[in-house]
Structure formats: structure tokens, C-alpha cells
Amino acid sequence: MSIRISQIDKTYGRTRALEPIDLDIHDGELIGLLGPSGSGKTTLLRIVAGLEQADGGSIHFGDRDVTRVHVRDRRIGFVFQHYALFRHMSVFDNVAFGLTAMPRATRPSSGEIRSRVMQLLEMVRLQDFAQRFPAQLSGGQQQRVSLARALALKPDVLLLDEPFGALDAKVRQELRRWLRHLHEELHFTSLFVTHDQEEALELSDRVVVMSNGRVEQIATPDTLYRQPANQFVFEFLGDVNRLEGDVEDEVLTCGDARVAVPGVENGRQELLLRPHEIRLEDQPDTRAHLPVSVTAVVPVGAEVRLELEADWLGEPWLATIGHAEFERLDVKRGRRLFAKPSRLHRFDTPRPQTLAPLATS
Amino acid sequence: MIAQALSRSRERRVLPGFGLSLGISLTFVSLILLLPLTSLVGQLSQLSWSQYWFLITDPRLLASYAVTLFGAGVAALFNAAFGLLMAWVLVRYEFPGKRLVDALMDLPFALPTAVAGITLATLYSSNGWIGRLLEPLGISVSYTWIGIALAMAFTSIPFVVRTVQPVLEDLPAEVDEAAMTLGASDGHAFRRVILPYLWPALVTGTGLAFVRSLGEFGAVIFIAGGKPYETEITSLMVFVKLQEYDYAGASAVASIVLATSLALLLAINLWQGRFIKRLHGGRG
């Protein structure tokens, strides 16, 4: 079932929680709402669920206008960050709750409920835990029960509020992959909230980046990462290094550092680059003379993270290089090297601009 | 074995001051609770079993058991409903004067029960403010079981409110919301989700209110009037026997009140322990 959100806004007292927002979600799409806390993403989700009322605008599920429909009649499934399981009920009764709460006339027979619940528990791989109580399950298991409970009524849309936020990193990984598979299998239309960019990029068909109650960008994970619409999106989607200096004749100077910046006009400029967009060498060259010293070395998985400091830098830079590079340069703490940016990004222009200072070499 | 276990637990204990604090606590428990109880048992030991049985099955006393149990039962049930409502209102809604109402809930604890008794008796007597209004309707409160239950309810209402209130405050709004997203009507959500959450606290609070009512004296005697066989409560019987210098008889009656209260308190505690264990992951 598609979701159409048009001109939804919300104010709490004097705080503007949501500027008027438009968002179209296609049938079967998995959409991530990504933003820092206070960006309005949870408010938007709760308005779609009907747990909050918007001040204005409308929400349609398919052709059905649900703007004034009570949450219990919206046919949504909702998964809460802290599971919100009924702790006095067994896992089975939790999952069966929605079915047993139906009015007598439409309620399935207890046999049908039983087989439906067992089928759901099998789907979340908890069929052996039916008679347990929530307190006897791990966090990941509880969140799976909560998901089965939300899916029991075959909702039109599934809404998840930071579903993996309370779990530890490894379980979160697992559940994420598992939810992705489940979605590919069942194709429910789904909207989830997260502040974790990795989670949003891994799970979503499209990501909605929000800040201060506004939508900053709506795009596929790939586009989002490669063509961020503005500085906020760029900075929110990963680690960022800053390079600030005075540009004259397409050369940026900052203390004893300088780098060629083709096409950049004269004056004070701020350029940004990602950790993997830094290359390191023993020697400077004519295009880049950026002396740095290594202050920390952290090998993580396929790459090595380095912290770089220099007099001309306000905050230290973060660089990631491959293990081969790492060995070739014999990197250790205190080693002096020269940084060469392979890409530089500008956002203070009307349209974001990416430079490749070394491309012509 | 036991010595070994003790020494091991002694080694593991990290928090300081166990011996001193437990020692002082036990001393005070002995002085304040156990010593008077011992003298009660001392008094009782002057009686033979048959004398004891004869005393506690006196028809007038049996009637007082019935009056007390019935009054306390009605009061406890009334408080279960009204206390739950009160706790609900105090936790779930914001309204002007909420703090004041909240503070008023403790008044029955702070007010001397005799003051409460005299006030109630004045209000509900046939020419009191409220009694005057009820009289034409054929309802008399003073000197009937209604008055007894009323006085008992007055003194024991904080037990229910104060046990239910914190549990209700701990109930996350998400749990309500979850029930709603699953299509449950308000009534269904209340019966199946909220009430079971509050159940242990509600039963405990009601139980405590009942036990308190069983032993209530000051608040009840003025409004009850103490007509033998009709509005005479058991604690009044203790008082009557004491005035007749029948210490053994008074002790016999007191022992019944005491045994009932202790048994009930123990039962509530055990039941609550079992219930709570299930919620926190024990095999239920």
C-alpha cells in the first residue's frame, strides 16, 4: 500500500517540530527516515501511525484518506524502540493480541489464531519460545516478537521507530540483514526511523534525510552518498575533514600548507573531504604540499584509520588507507607524511561542487 | 556446611556496616514489635485451651467478627475501585490543583484517627450536614454497618493509592500505544494490558487496606455506636474487656486480630513474590 504525505506540519508550543513535509512512498518500498535527534523524524513517523495529530496536511494510504482516522483503525503495524511487549503475557499471547482484540464478529476462530501465530513465530524463528515470557528473552528476540506481533494483523504499512537502537552492534547487524530478507519476501510498505547512517544506507530503498523538522534530501543510498544535496547531508553521512584557507590563483594556502584548487575563485574558502579521499606520500609535489604527522593508528578490518595533525589544521584529520599502503609507507605514530586530497567538496556555492586536484596528473 | 556457607557469604560481602545495621534493626524490632507481643503471649499462657476457646467463641464476639470482616471487606472493595481511579487520575492527567489532591491522599495517615472518627460521626449523624440529607432517603449511616465501612475506607484509602500510583507511573506510554496500534478498543486495552500490570499492586494495596481496617479502632467507634451484636467491632471488644480488667480475655481477642492480620500480610507477600518473579524472568 503506497503512502502519500502532503504538507504535514507540527508545532509543540513554540517549537516547530515539522515544517510542511511532502513525501511519496511507493507500494512495497522500504524507506529510512534518517536524522539527528530533534530532527522531527520520530514525530513524522508517529503522525503517520496516528499516535500524534498533525497541525495540518493530509496522509493517504493508497486511496484511503487516513488523516482523521484513529490509530486503531489505520491498519498499521508499529514496532517500538524498547519493544513495548506486554510483559505479563507469554510470547504466544503477545503475538496473538491483535487477533484476539478483534470484535467477535470478525475475529478468527481460536484454531485459526493458533496456526497464524505459530506461522508468525516460525517466520521470526521463535517457534520454540511460544510459552516463554518476554523477560526470559534477549533484546534481539524480544524485538523479533514485537515484529511478529506487528505483522499479525497483516497491516497496510509497517512503521518502525529506531527498531534496533537498543541492541548491541552484532545483534543489530544480524537483525538488519534479517529484516531486509523478510522485506524482500513479504514486500510490506515500510517506514523506519534511525539516527544511524549505516543502518539507513544498508536497509532502505530510499533514505529521507531530515534536520530541524525539514527534509534535506530524499534519494537512494547510492545517490545520497555520491551526490549529497548540501553540506548537512554530506556531514551527516560520514566522517568529514575540513580544509580552510585563502585561495589565490587557484591555489589554497593555509600556513605552510598549500594545494591546487582548480576553478575555485579567490578569497576565504572552506573545502571538505572524506577520510578515504586522502592519499599519503613521502614527498610533496607541485599540486599539493600538505605536511602532516600521524598521531594515532587504528587498524579496523580492511583498512587502517589514521589521525593526522598539523599546525595549519584546526581539528585533526581522519584518513583511512589500505593495508598495502600502510606497509609501503611504514606508517607509525609520529611519522611525518604529505597528504594529497583526491577529491575536495564545496557546498558554499549555489550547487555543490566536487574538485579533483590530482585528476590531471 | 552452614558455617562454610556463612563464611563464604561473609567474604563476598562488599557493602560495609552489615553487622552493625542489622544488629540495630533487630534490636528495635525486638523492643517495638516483639516485646509487646511476648507480653501478649504471656497473658495468654494464663488460659487453658478450653478457656481460650470458650472466650473466643463467645456469641457476642462472634457477631463482632462478622461485623468487622464485613465492614473491612466493603471498605477494601470500595477502596480498590476508588483508589485505582484516584491513582489513575493523579498519574495520567494534568489539572490545576493536582499537587494538592495528591497531598490530600496522605491525610488519613496524618490525621489522628479519633479526629477522623468524631468528624465523620458529626457529619453523618441524623442532624449532621450529610446525615440530614440522607435521613429522608431512609439511609442512616451512623450506628450501622455503612458507617463502619465508611470510617474504615477513610483511614485505609492511602494504601491503595500509594501502592498503585508508582506502578502506574512506571507503565510506559508505549505499552498503551502498542495495544492501540494492534486495534484494541480502550476497554480491551484496559482489561487485558493495563489492569494486569497494576494487578499485583492493586491486590497488595487492597489487602493492606483490608488488614488496616480489621484493626481500626479510633475512627470507627464514634460512628459505629457499639451496639452489641450489631455494630460492635472486634477491636472495640478488646477495649471493653480491658475496661473490665479482664486482661486474659482482652489478650485472647487481641490474639485473634493479630493472627488474622499476620496471616493475611504473609499471604499477600508470598503471592506478590510469586507474581513478580514471573514478570522478571523466573520460570512462571
**Cβ within 8 Å, pair B184-A135:** no
Whether the predicted pLDDT of B89 surpasses 80: yes
Least confident of A119-123, A263-267, B61-65, B88-92: A263-267
Q: What is the pLDDT of residue A85?
A: 93
pLDDT at A178: 87
Whether A117 has a pLDDT exceeding 90, the answer reads yes
Question: Does CATH place domain A241-355 in 1.50.10.10?
Answer: no
Give B9's pLDDT tier (boundaries 50, 70, 90): low
- Read off the pLDDT of each residue in A300-308 and give the average, rounded to a whole number: 90
| Interface predicted TM-score (ipTM) | 0.81
Q: Which cell numbers hold the place of B256?
A: 485473634
Q: What is the pLDDT of residues B163-220, one digit of tens each?
A: 999 999 988 889 999 999 999 999 999 999 999 889 989 999 999 999 999 989 988 9
B interface mutation test: which of A52, A97, A102 has the most B CBs within 10 A?
Answer: A97
Q: Which residue of B has its CA nearest to A146?
A: B178
| Element (DSSP H or E) covering residue A330 | none
| Closest Cβ opposite residue A86 in set B183, B193, B281 | B193
Q: Which of A88, A154, A158 is the best substitution to test chain B (most B C-beta atoms within 10 A)?
A: A88
Q: Which residues of B touch A73 (CB under 8 A)?
A: 183
List strands edge to edge, sheet with A344-346: A288-289, A257-260, A251-254, A241-248, A267-273, A344-346, A353-355
Give the other-Cβ count within 10 Å of B38's Cβ. 11
Concatenate the DSSP letters of all residues of B154-182 into one string.
HHHHHHHHHHHHHHHHHS-HHHHHHHHHT
Distance spanning both ends of chain A, measured CA to CA: 52
- Give the pTM: 0.79
The answer, for B198 touching chain A at a CB cutoff of 8 Å, is: no
Find the chain A residues whose C-beta atoms sit closer than 8 A to any C-beta of B: 49, 51, 71-73, 76-78, 80, 82, 84-89, 97-98, 101-102, 133, 135-136, 149-150, 152-153
Query: In B, which residues are within 8 Å of A84 by CB distance?
Result: 172, 174-175, 177-178
Q: How does pLDDT run across A164-193, given as a tens digit for each residue? A: 888 888 888 888 888 888 888 888 899 999
* Domains annotated on chain B, with CATH: 46-279 (1.10.3720.10)
CB contact under 8 A, B184 and A72: yes
pLDDT of residue B281: 54
Q: Report chain B residues whose CB lies below 8 A from the CB of A135.
A: 279-281
> To the nearest whole angstrom, how far is the Cα of B212 from the nearest Cα of chain A?
29
The torsion defined by the Cα of A249, A252, A256 and A257, in degrees rounded to 10, comes to -130
Instruction: Give the distance from CA B241 to its chain's centroid.
Output: 24
pLDDT score, position B280? 65
Distance, CA of B197 to CA of B195 (rounded, Å): 5
Q: How far is A172 from chain B (nearest CA, A)?
A: 21
> Domain-by-domain residue ranges, chain A?
3-228, 241-355
Instruction: Tell me the pLDDT of chain B averaged across its residues.
Output: 88
Residue B34 contacts A, CB cutoff 8 Å: no
pLDDT in tens, B108-152: 888 888 898 898 888 988 888 888 888 888 888 888 899 999 999
Nearest to B182 among A87, A98, A135 (CB): A98
In the prediction, which pLDDT does A361 show? 43
End-to-end CA distance of chain B: 30
Mean pLDDT of the region B229-244:
90
What's the topology of domain A3-228? Answer: Rossmann fold (3.40.50)
The alpha-carbon gap from A207 to the nearest alpha carbon of chain B, in Å, equals 25
